[in-house]
Chain A
Amino acid sequence: MGFKEYVGKRTLHGIVTIMLAVTLNFILFRIMPGDPTRAVSGDPRVDTATRLALIAKFGLDRPLIEQFVLYVYNLLRGEMGISFVQIGRPVIDIILGRKMINTIILMGSSMFIALFLGIVFGVIAAWRRGTKTDISLIVVSLATYSMPVFWFGMMLLLVFSYYINIFPIAGTITPGIVHANFFEYAKDYLNHLMAPMITLGVSFFGGYFLFMRDTILDVFTEDYMLTARAKGLSNRKILFKHAMRNALLPMVSLMGVHVTFLISGATMTETVFSWDGLGRLIYDSVRNNDYPVLQGIFLFMAVLVVVANILADIVNAYLDPRIKEAVE
């Protein structure tokens, strides 16, 4: 089997998976309890006549199979419907807009920081295994790893936005003002980004740190490490050239899986800091039974997971000679 065939097969699998996801995505919201007309009106006191009219308007009184055919047909045309809650706004506009950018910036920056610190401290802890540095780092990382992220976020909010007023309390930008230029805007945005970024960075750090430390410790037992030592290389060279580079391979695979976090966002953190991203959109949509938006986000995430996995497999197969050999 050639490399091209392998790619073709993985792509085919991916398409089947996405079709399954579409079907499940449709069924999930139909079997869930809850009445979307309450979502549409947003008010329990709405007239019966009004509610009946809205049900008919959204085609919710049609047979399920008809709704499904319509759904698939519209998806193929690139239509995801309009939001129940923000009437008239296409779901695609809501998802692929400012909210997505906000989420990518927040998740990207906090994951980058956590990853960087995780790798550095992971290497240090592995090198000094068993010392006080190692143990205290493990204690700190376990503590941050198991800490509820919303609690930590609220503590940050209380201390840094209320008692010491250095971070704004909510939002991505100061409301109601016009920024003089792009740098002013970026400064304001960064100021708002700090608190949620720290929160998420701290909560991600523990996982990456422990993972890195363990893989490095694994690498230490490999024969080539002994060889490197026998060659008389310096500790620094052994650690960063031989151990770390090999230990980074599984780390990269892990990152591939975590790419989906970039989009799904961190619902808790975004809600605590009122960060207007996709995570909070999910939260709001669940609370308001906004099925079209939820369907859209879930489909989007499913596609992203499938594509990211295929890409990761292909890249791995390409990069790692051992996998490549097995494929061929």
Chain B
Amino acid sequence: MLKLKKILSAFIMAIISLSIMSPLLLSTPVAMATDEDELSFEMWTLDWDTISVDAGDVIEQMLRDIGIRMKAIPISDEVLYDNLDLEHDYEVYEMSGGYDPYPSHMTPRFHSSEIMDYGANDMAYNNPEVDALLDQANAELDFETRVELLWQVQDLIAEDLPYIPLFTSDDVHAIRKEWTGYVCMPGGIFNWYNRLTTINLQHEDQEYGADFIMAYPSYIRYYNPIMGTDGRSALIVSMVYDDLVAYDADMNLTPWLASAWTVSEDGLTITFTIVENAKWHDDVDLTAEDVKFTIDFYKDQDVPYDTPLMSRIDSVETDGDYTVIVHMTEPYAWAVNDFEDVPIMPKHIWEGKDWDWAVHPDTMPIGSGPFMWDSYLDGEWIKLVVNPDFWMEGKPHLGSFLVRVISESSARYLAISSGEVHSDRYELDTGFIDTADNDPNLAPLEDTWCVGMWDYYINFNQRTNPALQDPVVKKAIAHAIDKNRLVEIARLSYGTVTDTYITPAFFGPAYENPDAITYEYNVFLANQMLDAAGYLDIDADGIREMPVAVEEPDEETPVFEAETIEELEAEIASLLSSLSDTASSVSSLESDIEALNSRLNSSLNIAYGVAIVALLVAIIAVYYATRS
């Protein structure tokens, strides 16, 4: 009896596994067959990012108007990034890249040296002219000339369109209305390069000494200032540590720890003058030695951060206590900008340490910034208090800055609305914008509305589908997308449409090129371009087909023996009829494929049904077998 049971259950298991496996084995080739010669693409969006998903769905709809099927598929970031880093065989994706305070994204995104595993040039865009111009721009010290070079780069890219810029999702913040003094800067009122907000923030009834509480979605990652580049750690790092330079509200460089700097004419020597009254939080004076130490530290230990800058620095020397002279190996246009990202570290603490030293919070990260490390509870909160000896007169205004972890986004919003915390590290999720707009406890959203640092774009892989290598298709797509409508739907109008690759709204009006190549919303034009390029909808299913490969005319020119117009017309008529024959046979083939497909689908369904029934039978059988 027992043996019988075992045999029975083994048999059932075999049936189940077979019936489950068979559809899986069959299903792969089916999906590939029909899409091959149509303008039909898979566009990946980021599943947790509602803006990316919503914009993707809208784009899919818009492109139907020009006969392109752009299937928007939300996908998890693990799968997406794995593909960008290693597999490189996606077709299209639509999500945000992210700006730095100066246009440092151009070289990684477009330079062919970044076509590699883990490289930033995802789409494998390779244009030697662009490479040369980018190299030239990175070495060009004169700002005006550099911007003109970047205009040329953008025009070249706009002709090839490896990606189409769409919009930036703007930063609207929920902050309680009693707080003033925050500075709106592209990237938001709270950001690691927005050093002005944290020193100017104050309570409306209390100019100095008020306690500010900010909600974080999760705890910071690093206490180490070099590695703290993620959004949460970087804000804390920017408050505890100082950099040599900073940005003002219009994204121009302003003095910070360096009260002045000069760049020599050949670009090989940069001289920084350090403020004289700066002190470390443990009361040691901050001098040029510390700055020299920091730069040497990066270079000696091959710190893998800020490499574009550090690899171009030859040596550093000090002249007195408050002058630092940096010698470059080659002229580098963005050298001073890059120093904005280098936290100056105390020599008397970091000497002899490794760059990835896990600064233990109990020993209190010592910096020179406006706030000092006070206390913390790992995973829950961090308290910074004001640095009374901060070198800038009368700053900061706050008394303390408390960071509190609240994991859940609705809980964060409720906490701000009820006053338990005062603002959030990040901008409002799109879902909360309407509620926040009507909340009497919050500052009006217009006051906190800054251009966002997250730039959304559609990226076309230049390796996979041949249609995506044809600029005409991409230009037609660019014409067919109504970016204003995208912003309205995906970000409830709190976004900025981007037409160029260096958005003047973010990087400043100096980058505005009045003659830039842009693509306005024009569905009619898009359709015409595709028609002219031979992308026609032959089988009338609403999706254009790839142009049929045109045979070389000099080899197969139809020989017209006709002498008169009438004979010529007859010839043409016969040619036309043979063409229509071909078309009809193509469409009958298509319908055959369709029929085969549906048969296959139904057999798949049957297989799954059998599997489920087999499973049920097995469960019942096991139940009866064990009951005895």
Contact = CB atoms under 8 A, between A and B. Distances in A.
Contact of A280 (B213, B231, B407): B407
A175 interface: yes
Given A34-B79, A43-B98, A43-B229, 15 more contacts: A35-B78, A38-B81, A42-B230, A44-B98, A47-B305, A48-B119, A87-B358, A98-B379, A157-B410, A169-B418, A173-B377, A175-B213, A176-B213, A272-B407, A289-B78
Given A35-B82, A45-B98, A47-B305, A171 B418 contact: no
Nearest to B417: A162
Contacts of A42: 221, 229-231, 233
Contact of A176 (B79, B231, B381, B411): B381
B404 to A, nearest CB: 5
B405 A274 contact: yes
Contacts of B358: 87-89
Given A34-B78, A35-B78, A170 B411 contact: yes
B260 interface: no
Interface in A130-171: 154, 157-158, 161-162, 165, 168-171
20 contacts: A35-B81, A38-B77, A43-B231, A44-B97, A85-B221, A88-B357, A98-B377, A162-B417, A169-B406, A169-B420, A170-B405, A170-B411, A171-B404, A175-B383, A176-B375, A178-B375, A272-B411, A273-B411, A274-B407, A284-B218
Contact of B308 (A47, A162, A284): A47
Across the A-B interface, the 6 shortest Cβ-Cβ residue pairs: A88-B358, A34-B78, A42-B230, A53-B304, A175-B381, A170-B406
Interface string B553-588: 000000000000000000000000000000000000
Contacts, number: 151
A15 to B, nearest CB: 28
B78 A32 contact: yes
B547 to A, nearest CB: 36
Contacts of B375: 176, 178
Interface in A150-206: 154, 157-158, 161-162, 165, 168-173, 175-176, 178
B404 A170 contact: yes
A50 interface: yes
Contacts of A168: 420
Interface string A100-123: 000000000000000000000000
B414 interface: yes
Main secondary structure, interface of A, reads loop
A169 B414 contact: yes
Contacts of B415: 169-170
Contacts of B304: 47, 49-50, 52-54
A169 to B, nearest CB: 5
Nearest to B385: A176
A280 B108 CA distance: 36
B522 interface: no
Contacts of A48: 108, 114, 116, 118-120
Contacts of A271: 407-408
Nearest to A174: B381
Contact of B380 (A41, A52, A87, A171): A171
B338 to A, nearest CB: 11
Contact of A161 (B82, B357, B400, B418): B418
Contacts of A53: 302, 304
Contact of B411 (A37, A85, A98, A157): A157
Nearest to A85: B221
Interface string B200-228: 00000000000001000011011010010
B378 A98 contact: yes
Contacts of B118: 37, 48, 51-52, 55
Contacts of A46: 229
Pick the most buried of B120, B405, B408: most chain A CB atoms within 10 A of its CB: B408
A87 B222 contact: yes
Contacts of A97: 378
Contacts of B114: 48
B307 interface: yes
Given A48-B119, A169-B415, A289-B78, A87 B356 contact: yes
A159 to B, nearest CB: 11
Given A175-B402, A176-B381, A45 B307 contact: no
A168 to B, nearest CB: 7
Given A42-B229, A47-B307, A87-B358, A276 B411 contact: no
A285 to B, nearest CB: 10
A86 interface: yes
B100 interface: yes
Interface of A: 32-35, 37-38, 41-55, 57, 85-89, 97-99, 154, 157-158, 161-162, 165, 168-173, 175-176, 178, 270-274, 276, 280, 283-284, 289
Contact of A34 (B81, B108, B231, B380): B81
A171 B381 contact: yes
A96 B114 CA distance: 42
A326 B43 CA distance: 63
Contacts of B404: 170-171, 175-176
Contacts of A52: 118, 304
Pick the most buried of B229, B230, B405, B407: most chain A CB atoms within 10 A of its CB: B407
A53 B304 CA distance: 6
B85 interface: yes
Interface in B330-363: 356-358
Contacts of B119: 48
Nearest to A52: B118
A64 to B, nearest CB: 15
A99 B410 contact: no
Nearest to B121: A48
B402 A88 contact: no
Contact of A45 (B100, B377, B418): B100
A176 B404 CA distance: 9
B402 A276 contact: no
A14 B79 CA distance: 35
A236 to B, nearest CB: 37
Contact of A274 (B231, B400, B408): B408
A57 B400 CA distance: 37
B431 to A, nearest CB: 14
Contacts of A172: 380
Interface string B392-424: 000000001010111110110011011010000
Contact of B418 (A162, A175, A178, A280): A162
A157 B414 CA distance: 9
Contacts of A272: 407-408, 411
Interface string B294-331: 00000000101101100000000000000000000000
Contacts of A178: 375
Contacts of A157: 410-411, 414
B224 A88 contact: yes
Contacts of B308: 47
Contacts of B229: 41-43, 46
A47 B380 contact: no
Nearest to A150: B408
B424 to A, nearest CB: 13
A43 B407 CA distance: 19
Given A41-B229, A87-B356, A98-B379, A158 B414 contact: yes
A289 B82 CA distance: 12
Nearest to B357: A88
Interface in B95-110: 97-98, 100, 105, 108
